[in-house]
A = this chain, B = another copy of it.
């Protein structure tokens, strides 16, 4: 058993990928040139768009996709691989190419968001890692993007770490920030991805002290009045009075984490104003999702805190992306069994826009490259060449801007929260 903290990257993989490679090495098919594509057969029920997220994380982890002696020993001792394959794994390194939609791009059913090219053996081992990262991060980003739309320009802090796996939480912070959240509570995400972090105090801090005023005084003594006081441990109105008494009317913000947030925000605003705290902001949190955020549009709220709903994808915890072999030695291949028909052959995707910038459709061409009109845009970019990341991959902030622009360009119905069809039709051009 492995005792170190982190799992070995190449073992974050389904056993059958190794079994297939072992048989393919023995029969000579392992070296066949293949094209694998990642796409979604459908969007989560009622969703109008998907968001590509996780590409940067994938490229980061790909660099660690190599085998140490512990890995090889485990694979041999568990009967997963034989001696021949063990030797092959010792020098394994992905040397193929990866192309894909940039992070922050939108996708629709059938969009070929990632294309992995290389030998069968090299590519197939990446399947689970590719899907785990893209399915998780894209699910979070799509949910987060809907919340950002619902918030209509008001900032949102991501604070859901405690409601998901501890490492998934870091990726969820990253995906939420990509989608337009302003900050995260997660310090590891701050450390790894340079995302601004936020947070001041929980109810425990108030309970620790002899009374609420003592807790507020302590917090203000350390953090100054440019802080957020949590006012709902006991009685909210009294909490607000205590907050302003201790911090004065220049207090930056109060936070409310319980009750009918619409009513509470309204009453709190009136009370703050009556106390002269005209600029003290109101932060609300407590099981907020895109619908409850939208319902607070008319409430005097300045900042939302979102947790459980965003880190669990708000009803769609996985993006439903699949990784399929579509070409072998230049020949399109396709599985023909019931209900899961896919289209064979390497695909090229173009998004066509009106002169105004609004998207008309996404066109997918099979084994050809469609002509580009004046308002068309190729969706796929080179990401990895010969196993190495290309230069100048977009930064997280660039991906964030990309998504913001992409959402502006889709027909306006696409931004509705209600269930509907995909916002952009996808046409397959034979």
Q: Which residues does A use to contact B, with CB under 8 Å?
A: 1-2, 5-9, 11-20, 22-24, 26-27, 29, 32, 34, 36, 61, 64, 70-71, 74-75, 78, 80, 82, 120, 124, 127-129, 131-133, 135-137, 159, 161-171, 185-188, 190-194, 197-209, 214, 218-219, 221-223, 232-236, 257-259, 308, 311-313, 317-318, 323-325, 328, 333-340
Contacts and interface: CB of A to CB of B under 8 A. Distances in A.
27 contacts: A6-B6, A6-B167, A7-B188, A11-B187, A14-B159, A14-B162, A19-B219, A20-B205, A23-B201, A23-B205, A27-B218, A32-B208, A75-B187, A78-B197, A127-B204, A131-B163, A132-B164, A136-B165, A203-B324, A204-B324, A207-B334, A233-B336, A236-B337, A259-B337, A259-B339, A308-B318, A317-B317
A222 B23 contact: yes
Contact of A1 (B82, B191, B325): B191
B12 A169 contact: yes
Nearest to A124: B204
Contacts of A192: 1-2, 7
Given A20-B204, A29-B208, A164-B318, 8 more contacts: A7-B167, A7-B192, A13-B187, A15-B187, A75-B187, A82-B222, A163-B318, A165-B167
A22 B223 CA distance: 9
Nearest to A57: B166
A139 to B, nearest CB: 9
B325 A317 contact: no
* Residue from A27, A124, A339 with most neighbouring chain B CB atoms (10 Å): A27
Contacts of A20: 201-202, 204-205
Given A128-B161, A318-B308, A233 B335 contact: yes
A80 B197 contact: yes
A324 B186 CA distance: 19
Nearest to A227: B19
Contacts of A78: 187, 190-191, 197
Contacts of A61: 5, 166
Query: 3 tightest CB-CB pairs across the interface, nearest first?
Result: A16-B199, A15-B199, A165-B168
Contact of A5 (B6, B159, B233): B6
Contacts of A128: 161-162, 166, 169
Q: With a 10 A CB-CB cut-off, give which of A16, A165, A308, A313 has the most chain B CB atoms.
A: A165
B120 A135 contact: no
Residue among A2, A187, A209 facing the most chain B CB atoms (10 A cut-off): A187
B308 A1 contact: no
Nearest to A186: B14
A189 B188 CA distance: 24
A134 to B, nearest CB: 9
A291 B342 CA distance: 27
The residue in A166, A222, A336 that gathers the most chain B C-beta atoms within 10 A of its C-beta is A166
B335 A259 contact: no
Given A16-B185, A204-B124, A336-B234, A171 B165 contact: yes
Nearest to A32: B208
Nearest to A326: B207
A207 B23 contact: no
A170 B207 contact: no
Given A24-B218, A164-B132, A337-B234, A1 B200 contact: no
